[in-house]
Amino acid sequence: MSEIVLTIGDFAADTDGRQPVRSTSKRAQRWSAEREEMTDDVGLDQLYRSHRLSMVRLAVLLVDDLPTAEDVVQDAFSKVHAAWDRLQDPSAAPAYLRTTVINGSRSVLRRRRTARLFVRPRVTDAPGADAAVILAEEHRAVLAGLQRLPRRQREVLVLRYWGDLSEQGVAEALGISRGTVKSTTSRALAALTAIMEPQR
């Protein structure tokens, strides 16, 4: 159980009107809480430095444009930050972060799909005008085929073949069974092969 305490009018302005003046009786309690929060912030900083790039890459592979991927990842770190107190095992944070990025990417894709029911889509299904254009032709063809797969198949392939997760790891990240991962991977590879076949 966690608590967020919002004090209305707990602080009064000091003489220059900029810095809050705290009541002595609450200072010790608040400083103690702040020290714990600083510890949390250090842990999150480390997680951010070590995982931001790989999470952005994961999100790019799922949503296919960098600005959106960066937003998804930043939102994910915010959620991890909010849930930090509830993480009983800090080593679980990367997995929690990855799942949050996947969920954030799904949300983006869903909103795109919903919006396209009402708004004529821009010509953005192709990779954006970023570095994708300098990919080798073969890579572009594979990635274009990947984009045509159903969402879950695409997620499984990205996590298996870029994320290097085991079947069990993919199952945990996506909240599905290991058997489903196996069958989805098989179907996805078959579908991707079929999509690629005419181009060969």
Partner 1 sequence: MTGPNDHRSPTMDSNPIEQRLRAALAARADQFQDHDLRPAQAPRTQHLRVAPARPRRLLVTVAAAAVMVSAAAGIQVLNHSQHADQAPSVRVDTPPVLTFTTRTETIADRATLTYPVASVSGGAPGVDARIGTVLNGRVEDLVQSFRTRIDQQDPAAQPLMLQITPENPGVWRQFLSVRLDVLEDFGGAHPSNSAAAVVIDSRSGAAVGAEQVVPDVESVDRLMQASIQRAAGPTVDAAAVATLSMRPGQDGTTAPLAWYPAPDGLHWVVDRGAIAAEAAGTPSTVLAWNRLDR
116-145 positions binding partner 1, by CB under 8 A:
116, 118-119, 121-122, 124, 130-132, 134-136, 138-140, 142-143
Q: Which of 96, 103, 108, 198 is nearest to 145 (CA)?
A: 198
101 contacts 55 by C-beta, under 8 angstroms: yes
Tell me how far, at minimum, the Cβ of 51 lies from partner 1, in Å: 9
Cβ-based neighbours of 175, under 8 Å, separated by 6 or more: 99
Tell me how far, at minimum, the Cβ of 63 lies from partner 1, in Å: 10
Among 90, 92, 111, 168, binds partner 1 (CB under 8 A): 111
Which 44-73 positions form the footprint of partner 1 (CB under 8 A)?
44-45, 47-49, 52-54, 56-58, 60-61, 66-68, 70-71
Tell me how far, at minimum, the Cβ of 108 lies from partner 1, in Å: 8
In the beta sheet, which residues pair with residue 20? 13
Q: Between 52 and 182, whose beta carbon lies closer to partner 1?
A: 52
Which 149-188 positions form the footprint of partner 1 (CB under 8 A)?
157-158, 161-164, 175
Distance (Å, whole) CA 1 – CA 39: 19
Tell me how far, at minimum, the Cβ of 153 lies from partner 1, in Å: 12
Q: Between 89 and 137, whose beta carbon lies closer to partner 1?
A: 137
Reported in sequence order, the residue ranges of 36-153 that DSSP labels E, i.e. its strands, are: none
Residue positions counted in the chain? 200
Residues near partner 1 (CB under 8 A), total: 88
Q: Between 89 and 175, whose beta carbon lies closer to partner 1?
A: 175
Tell me how far, at minimum, the Cβ of 184 lies from partner 1, in Å: 13
Helix (H, G, I), strand (E, B) or coil at 20: strand
Q: Between 18 and 89, whose beta carbon lies closer to partner 1?
A: 18
| Helix (H), strand (E) at residue 92 | none
CA–centroid distance for 106 within its chain: 10
Tell me how far, at minimum, the Cβ of 89 lies from partner 1, in Å: 18
The two three-digit tokens of residue 69, written as one number: 């991927």
Cα distances (angstroms) measured from residue 99 to each of 113, 153, 159: 21, 16, 11
